[in-house]
Amino acid sequence: MSYSTGRLRRTSWLLCLTVLWASGCATAGRGPQTGASRVLALTDADFASKIDAHRGVCLVDFWAPWCLPCSIVSPTVEELADEYAGAVRVGKVDTDAQPQTMARFRIQALPTLIVFRDGFASKIDAHRGVCLVDFWAPWCLPCSIVSPTVEELADEYAGAVRVGKVDTDAQPQTMARFRIQALPTLIVFRDGRPVKRFVGVTPKDALKAAIDEARKP
């Protein structure tokens, strides 16, 4: 995910570059299209299905009706929705009406614009079932000790438990979101929610016990 907050210096060209970076698409200049707005009105109830579960790039504008800078940014968001129609999903979250989504992404200033790409949100948050996620870094020696255990668990629970790894050097937003303060940190999720956390080199049996507990009906 990539964030931009509502500073006047963050103009439309920065938004374009951010979306281009996320999508890897160098041919965005299709020109604006006319007609009804292509911007989705997102709610607490449908954010997961429309953004988390989307396989591709999304741009989400967090705004409020009383926010003057939001009204300045809004036409740019509409233009991007037209220019990237069919390639990038664009949505808006009214933070006054959708407080849960605002809290989830820790929105502290308006407008805040977030670019999402296939990754943690779509693969873990939206997954219905049990996941094990290993937060690690290339320079972390204890992480290299735990890594073979994570690989073994991925094989043993293949088809039943989703296992993933987050390189915290490359994914600082995800690291910050889950308040990772030591490496490795391993978190067991159920239906997108953390249920058990381990810090440091953790025995395989302890991880298996936590996974098995999370899989119980």
CA-atom Rg of the chain in angstroms: 19
Please tell me what DSSP assigns to residue 49. I
With residue 88 as reference, give the H or E element that holds it.
Answer: strand 88-94
Give the Cα separation of 194 and 188 in Å (integer): 6
Omega within 30 of 0 (cis) for the link into 75: no
Q: Which residues make beta-bridge pairs with 197?
A: 187
Planar angle of CA 192, 64, 55, nearest 5 degrees: 35
Stretch (H or E) spanning 212: helix 204-215
Q: Of the listed 58, 67, 131, 143, which one is catalytic?
A: 143
- Which of 71, 162, 173 is CA-nearest to residue 116? 173
- In the residue annotation, 143 being an active-site residue is answered as yes
Closest to 89 in 3D by CA, of 69, 114, 72: 114
Question: Which of 181, 1, 200, 215 has the alpha carbon at shortest distance from 106?
Answer: 1
The residues that are catalytic are 140, 143
